[in-house]
A and B are shown apart, each in its own frame.
Chain A
Amino acid sequence: MVGPADPVRELIEVHRELCEQAVDVLDIAAGLEDSGIGPAGAAAYRHTDVFGLAEELSARVARRPDGPGDPDGPGGPGPVARRSRRAAAALTAAAAHLVPVAVLAVGGASVPVAAAAVIVGAVVLTLATGRPRWSRWPGWAAAGYGLGAAVLLAAVTAGSVPLGAAAATAAGSARWCARWVRDLGRGHLGAAVTMAEFRARMRPVLPVAAVLQLALTGLWTAAALALTPGAPHGPDGSAAAAALSGAGVTAWAVQGCAGLALLVSAVLAHAGRAALAASVVLLAGAGTAALLLPSAQTAGRLVCAGPLALLLPYAWLLLGRPGAHRARPAG
């Protein structure tokens, strides 16, 4: 029987996918051997060995790019799941941060109650931050964050309970914003072609998140002040206007600082900088506590705002690095 003039063509049809996806000749040779073609099989195609046959296949079939649905690991959760996870994380965080505020509000402003609020809040926040299985906080960093956040909230609440409640809610919105930044970063990481493009895509993300967080913090604060029952009424009877003007400039600044510090901390933690994330909240807490003392006003302001002024640009630079957006290394 006379065989076909070009026996290799049939072989190409059988192994087309292997040849298109192969990285080199040896890859094709290994694939051919796996499918049962040995030296005897290669001789049927007029080659001395499998490598020669693989070379012919490699030369005759062009490489073809992967399909677009190629994974970078098993695909993450869909957009809906991500949205609901963001909301759940924000609600849990807000609830956990309300604990020290509630202790102080119930117990009344006194030193022992404040101490109890700090201790209870620190324990609850440490567990809520460091315990979950997916947490990227090492234990000591979670403890530092818990202590810092508890001191911060207790100090704000000691000044005014509605402000404390607003700050605790701002922790929830900070968590939401940080997750939004992270999800956006991962999305860009999958889509960006070069690192420069990735940086360009990430440039506006943190500023937008910071503005959003400031706006939300302001909203929570205004709402909390307006809803407080004993708030003084203004001349035109509007509770809100009176409440807004009633709180001093310092109180508004503290609220803004607290909101931003919580945001920066969550963003840094997602980028794997847990130590910095804990220290920014610790310093903000210490600064806010110092503001309660009349003698330490300047120091308090410095400690509150200084680290923030440094770490906000740092976080912005950090988010431009693709390596900061990965959960764990490959391999």
Chain B
Amino acid sequence: MRIALLTEGTHSAAQRGDGGWCGRLVEGLPEHEFRLFRLVRGDRPADPTGVRGLKGLQELPMWGCRAAGRGPSLHRRRSYARAYEDLVKALVLPGERALFGPGLYRLAELAAEDGALPAFLASGHAHRVLERVWRSPGADTAAGQPLVRDVLVAADLLEQCLRPLSAPWYGTGPAGLGGADLCHVVGGGPAALPALVARRLHGVPFVVTEHGLHLREQYRSYRTAPYRWPVRALLLSFFRLLAEETYRLAAVLTPGSAYDRQWQQRCGGDPERTRVVYEGTPAVTRPAAGPEPAAPTLVWAGALEPGRDPELMLHAFARVRAERPEAELLMYGEEGVPGYRAHCEAIAERLGVAAAVRFAGRPKAIADAWESGSAVVFSALAQRSPRLLADAMLSGRAVVATEVGVAREVLGPSGLLVPPRSPQALAAACLALLGDQERRARLGLAGRLRAQERFAVEPVVSAFREIYLELVSRYPAFPAGGGEAARPFARPAEYWVAGAVTGTTGEGAARPEERGAAGPFARRAGDRGGPVVPAMAEVG
């Protein structure tokens, strides 16, 4: 199968080590052809992807300065302005949300015809359209009317967010999204725009995988962004509507945790089409940590910042130390906020536990950090990603965590959960573990087994093998032709697998060139000249 992986280059998970998540997926499914379509930052050179075995790599600079280009001609400018007006109406008028999709696709069609979209969005015409709609009666400006500078800033940000619409990726050739059997969006957000357009233009279905929701991260990062309220409201409205459109049209959603799934369903994700696929980690093959240290030691790991609440850990540790004076605390992690480490040290000093607390900075290997303690403690106020928790569980040490975010589903019965912001509860849990060697060992083993089962790489790969096959089997070969209703499973799944078809095959397996003539290529090539029809009806 030809699969287009769409991702944003800044997405941290895709960048780590040997290609990260995408790299493991591509390596695990050698029977499919993967092409990576990446949105990268325009103002600095992109990092290498690190993904081996790709058929092709295409990049589009996003963010930063706009590439030079001409605006639309006079008579086309009106079409552009109308489409842009629809889009802006959807963003600021609560009653016009439904215009988002039509406006977006219309802009994409116009951009595909003459490529003048970025220049139009940066022009004074677009600014005027934006201002007129934004200041029209009924617009949502509960906490402030937009000023001229807000219009300019919002127009710039929208232009950058909409750059994927004018990407040169929508051809039907083998290197275009139209020539792919399905798109796999990793990370959501603007990376889903090409998939939405490809679905619209060519009927290519798409899967969305998110580890840590893009939308939620936008809400969090815009809170500290240097923009006024109206700009924040407009841009977050864009991201929310984009997420809703993406979730509505995605053939399959694969959030990285049940916690993320809740958010997706809140934004219109269909539970029927949602399947939680945990992020696999190569750490499952790591041996369990060795013997415990002699002194009862608690290990804490994470960035030193208020959200991770190291203060709670210190307060709880003071209580632990009152009961067990020989206990020690190891705090791993670098400062997330400047000066926060000194703040934590001052608290330790004030609580009288400074002698027993060691701030160890960044560990050489994360496994060493877990090994240096008898039990691992997470005191965070929010736990959005299961990554660190799973890694700690894989060490075979017992884990205590505050019950926030993903902690409950990841830890389950194999660890202790305490309410956040409660030093008494955390101290009681730590004392219970430190005082019971047998329980510690039992919980540690249970946690390790649970994490090995859920966070292995192989289940991720096999999940997507299934998802891909199931997906293409639901998308029939000739949706537009003949007028007869599309029948699911009209062709066996193997029909779509572009694997090695060697000489002596049976009746069912056609040679690649025949498949090429009758397969999805032919359909899409035929569709191209006609009017753009809404994507085919989903069946099954």
Which residue numbers of A lie inside 8 Å of B, CB to CB? Answer: 20-21, 23-24, 26-27, 29-31, 33-36, 38, 40-41, 49, 51, 62-66, 70-74, 189-190, 192-195, 197-198, 321-323, 326, 328-331
Q: What are the residues of chain B within 8 A of A31 when measuring CB–CB? A: 219, 223
**B66 to A23, Cβ gap below 8 A?**
no
- The CA-CA distance from A189 to B153 in the complex, in Å, is 12
Task: Please give me the residue from chain A that is nearest to B43 by CB atom.
Answer: A331
**B381 to A65, Cβ gap below 8 A?**
no
CB of B342 within 8 Å of the partner chain: no
- The CA-CA distance from A321 to B145 in the complex, in Å, is 20
Give chain B nearest CB distance to A144 CB in angstroms.
Answer: 18
How many chain B residues touch the partner (CB < 8 A)? Answer: 53
Out of A40, A41, A189, A329, name the residue touching B148 (CB < 8 Å).
A189
Q: What are the residues of chain A within 8 A of B147 when measuring CB–CB? A: 192-193
**B240 to A63, Cβ gap below 8 A?**
no
CB of B236 within 8 Å of the partner chain: yes
Q: What are the residues of chain B within 8 A of A33 when measuring CB–CB? A: 382, 404-405
Given A20-B143, A51-B266, A329-B122, 9 more A-B residue pairs with CB atoms under 8 Å apart are: A30-B220, A34-B220, A35-B382, A36-B309, A36-B404, A41-B420, A72-B153, A322-B151, A326-B152
CB of B137 within 8 Å of the partner chain: no
- The CA-CA distance from A193 to B236 in the complex, in Å, is 22
Task: Please give me the residue from chain B that is nearest to A326 by CB atom.
Answer: B152
Q: What are the residues of chain A within 8 A of B210 when measuring CB–CB? A: none
**B124 to A23, Cβ gap below 8 A?**
no
**A27 to B127, Cβ gap below 8 A?**
no
**B131 to A23, Cβ gap below 8 A?**
no
Task: Please give me the residue from chain B that is nearest to A199 by CB atom.
Answer: B148
CB of B160 within 8 Å of the partner chain: yes
Q: What are the residues of chain B within 8 A of A27 when measuring CB–CB? A: 219, 223, 236
Q: What are the residues of chain A within 8 A of B227 when measuring CB–CB? A: 330
Which residue numbers of B lie inside 8 Å of A, CB to CB? Answer: 63-66, 122, 124, 127-128, 131, 135, 142-145, 147-149, 151-153, 156-157, 159-160, 215-216, 219-220, 223, 226-229, 232-233, 236-237, 240, 262, 266-267, 307, 309, 381-382, 402-405, 408, 419-421
Task: Please give me the residue from chain A that is nearest to B312 by CB atom.
Answer: A36
Task: Please give me the residue from chain A that is nearest to B159 by CB atom.
Answer: A329
**B236 to A23, Cβ gap below 8 A?**
yes
- The CA-CA distance from A124 to B226 in the complex, in Å, is 40
- The CA-CA distance from A66 to B149 in the complex, in Å, is 15
**A65 to B229, Cβ gap below 8 A?**
yes
Task: Please give me the residue from chain B that is nearest to A191 by CB atom.
Answer: B147
- Check A34/B236 contact, CB under 8 A, given A70-B228, A323-B127: no
Q: What are the residues of chain B within 8 A of A40 when measuring CB–CB? A: 403, 419
Q: What are the residues of chain B within 8 A of A71 when measuring CB–CB? A: 226
**A192 to B148, Cβ gap below 8 A?**
yes
- The CA-CA distance from A65 to B228 in the complex, in Å, is 9
- Check A34/B142 contact, CB under 8 A, given A24-B236, A74-B226: no
| Chain B CB within 10 Å, residue with most, of A41, A71, A323 | A323
Task: Please give me the residue from chain A that is nearest to B215 by CB atom.
Answer: A26
- The CA-CA distance from A36 to B403 in the complex, in Å, is 8
The 5 closest A-B pairs by CB, nearest first: A36-B420, A36-B381, A63-B142, A63-B143, A23-B233
- The CA-CA distance from A193 to B233 in the complex, in Å, is 18
Q: What are the residues of chain A within 8 A of B236 when measuring CB–CB? A: 23-24, 27
Q: What are the residues of chain A within 8 A of B153 when measuring CB–CB? A: 72, 330
